[in-house]
């Protein structure tokens, strides 16, 4: 069976071209020949070759190798990743060695031995394919960096004193390599802060790698973060690079760090202290260089208990600590955040960009927003899609009954008894809330989890617990 491989043979001797093509055609999928070196630029500009066999001399009586050197340089100028095997006459080893110093990969002597030619070309083809794959990975990595930068274009809206203080802290901490711990309720924008830190850091041109530790099962933790070798465990059919190494040179964002079990916290601590990681199934540790930004919705007091979190790991992670306030404590930011999302979703759904009426503005400012910015975002998106009036009203946000105490200065409202669920058992209320959210989002787990302020993994656990 032929191997995948594209080969170009360049020689002015038609016998060499014919013999080389017949020999290599049995082994490789595509073999091209060129008898005029002037045609080389056209060949390599219009086609990709895994290996190029290039004669050292063209024309009768030539033996200095100058022509070979010239075209070797020309090929490498066009494509520096080219894998080139020089063809030299018997006794021209010194010339071939000089060519290798200039960038050639190997050489073969005329008259050649078929077995040696096949072995040499096979090795060269593998090298060429590897270089091509590496180049593709680098290009893909650059795209990832650009995508991350585009994701980070969403500005941090800060008009409240609390957020202005945080922005000042970001300006001081971002250019350093200090590890950052971000604390805050679900939906307060912890990942947005992490991305902003990365964008303002000296690592902005490298990858921002986000890992949701709450969504990774314990059995896959080491494979995901550390990587593994083929055959390391059942199902490991290929080598896999871990997130720590994939983020090398950039920023690693460990979201939901508080969900990590204690025994895995110990492993993470060891890796971060040593700055080396050993993939599963490997014998040698490989170094990595990342800046670690972590986030959790667990309170600071709970983090300081040994039963919840390892204190030595906590010290490692929170060189700088950022406490994000919930939306209800940054009321000055609610209106500009809502306006930002109104503009965003009006463009997305091709709807006219409308204003908030006075009651709606008072209502969204006084609403408690337990899901924080994430909940406000969904409320605005729904309002943009469903609103039928020329301005957004309380009804569009479905919060007209929430803010009576705050709206009463504008409207006289009679006190009404608050309706409470018949069964106040917390387990029952939790099950009802999850069930209603699942139905609302037609059992879309991602949307339901966001609505409830949970991770996907946490939602799955609660669904299993309640038999949903």
**426-466 shares the fold of 3-133:** no
Lowest mean pLDDT among 60-74, 252-266, 381-395: 60-74
* pLDDT band, residue 406 (cuts 50/70/90): very low
- The mean pLDDT of 114-125, rounded to a whole number, is 92
Question: Is residue 371 over pLDDT 80?
Answer: yes
Residue 410, pLDDT score = 39
**CATH level 3 topology of 161-325:** Rossmann fold (3.40.50)
Its CATH class, for the domain covering 3-133, is alpha beta
Name the percent of the chain lying above pLDDT 90: 54
- The mean pLDDT of 300-329, rounded to a whole number, is 92
Question: Is residue 420 over pLDDT 80?
Answer: no
Per CATH, the architecture of 328-407 is what?
Orthogonal Bundle (1.10)
* pLDDT band, residue 141 (cuts 50/70/90): low
Question: Is residue 435 over pLDDT 60?
Answer: yes
Residue 59, pLDDT score = 73
**CATH level 3 topology of 426-466:** Arc Repressor Mutant, subunit A (1.10.10)
Q: Which residues contact residue 344 at a Cβ distance below 8 angstroms, ignoring those fewer than 6 apart?
A: none
* pLDDT band, residue 288 (cuts 50/70/90): very high
Name the percent of the chain lying above pLDDT 70: 90
Give the SS3 label for residue 186: coil
CA angle 130, 131, 137 (to 5 degrees): 90
Question: Is residue 252 over pLDDT 90?
Answer: yes
Nearest one of 363, 400, 191, 423 to 294, comparing CA atoms: 191
Q: Is the peptide bond before 125 cis (omega within 30 degrees of 0)?
A: no
Domain ranges (residues) in the chain = 3-133, 161-325, 328-407, 426-466
Question: Is residue 408 over pLDDT 80?
Answer: no
Residue 88, pLDDT score = 85
Lowest mean pLDDT among 56-60, 94-98, 136-140: 136-140
* CB of 190 closer than 8 Å to CB of 198: no
CA angle 357, 360, 366 (to 5 degrees): 140
Residue 229, pLDDT score = 87
* pLDDT band, residue 300 (cuts 50/70/90): confident
Residue 274, pLDDT score = 92
Question: Is residue 140 over pLDDT 80?
Answer: no
Q: Which residues contact residue 441 at a Cβ distance below 8 angstroms, ignoring those fewer than 6 apart?
A: 447, 448, 451
Tokens at 449, concatenated: 């989890």
Residue 426, pLDDT score = 77
């Amino acid at each position: 069976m032929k191997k995948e491989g594209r080969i170009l043979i360049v020689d002015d001797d038609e016998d060499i071209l014919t013999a080389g093509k017949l020999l290599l055609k049995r082994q490789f999928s595509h073999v091209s020949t060129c008898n005029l070196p002037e045609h080389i630029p056209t060949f390599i500009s219009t086609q990709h070759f895994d290996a190029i066999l290039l004669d050292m001399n063209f024309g009768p009586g030539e033996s200095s190798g100058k022509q070979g050197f010239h075209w070797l340089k020309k090929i490498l100028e066009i494509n520096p990743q080219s894998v080139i095997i020089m063809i030299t006459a018997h006794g021209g080893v010194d010339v071939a060695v000089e060519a290798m110093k200039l960038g050639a990969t190997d050489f073969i002597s005329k008259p050649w031995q078929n077995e040696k030619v096949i072995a040499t070309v096979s090795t060269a083809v593998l090298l060429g394919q590897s270089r091509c794959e590496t180049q593709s990975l680098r290009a893909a990595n650059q795209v990832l960096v650009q995508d991350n930068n585009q994701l980070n274009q969403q500005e941090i809206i800060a008009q409240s004193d609390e957020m202005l203080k945080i922005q000042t802290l970001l300006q001081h901490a971002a250019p350093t390599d200090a590890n950052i711990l971000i604390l805050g309720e679900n939906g307060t924008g912890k990942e947005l802060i992490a991305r902003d830190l990365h964008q303002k850091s000296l690592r902005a041109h490298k990858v921002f790698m986000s890992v949701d530790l709450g969504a990774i099962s314990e059995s896959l933790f080491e494979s995901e973060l550390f990587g593994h070798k083929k055959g390391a465990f059942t199902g490991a059919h290929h080598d896999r690079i871990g997130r720590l190494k994939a983020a090398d040179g950039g920023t690693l964002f460990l979201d939901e760090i508080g969900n990590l079990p204690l025994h895995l916290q110990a492993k993470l601590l060891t890796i971060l202290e040593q700055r080396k990681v050993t993939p599963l199934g490997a014998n040698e540790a490989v170094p990595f260089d990342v800046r670690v930004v972590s986030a959790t919705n667990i309170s600071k007091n709970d983090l300081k208990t040994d039963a919840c979190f390892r204190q030595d790991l906590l010290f490692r992670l929170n060189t700088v600590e950022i406490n994000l306030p919930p939306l209800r404590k940054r009321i000055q930011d609610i209106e500009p955040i809502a306006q930002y999302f109104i503009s965003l979703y009006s463009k997305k759904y091709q709807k006219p960009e409308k204003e908030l009426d006075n009651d709606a503005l008072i209502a969204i400012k006084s609403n408690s927003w337990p899901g924080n910015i994430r909940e406000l975002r969904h409320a605005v998106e729904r309002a943009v899609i469903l609103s039928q009036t020329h301005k957004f009203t309380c009804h569009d946000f479905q919060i007209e009954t929430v803010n009576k105490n705050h709206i009463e200065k504008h409207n006289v409202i009679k006190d009404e008894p608050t309706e409470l669920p018949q069964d106040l058992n917390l387990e029952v209320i939790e099950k009802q809330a999850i069930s209603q959210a699942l139905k609302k989002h037609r059992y879309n787990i991602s949307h339901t989890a966001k609505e409830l302020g949970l991770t996907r993994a946490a939602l799955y656990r609660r669904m299993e617990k309640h038999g949903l």
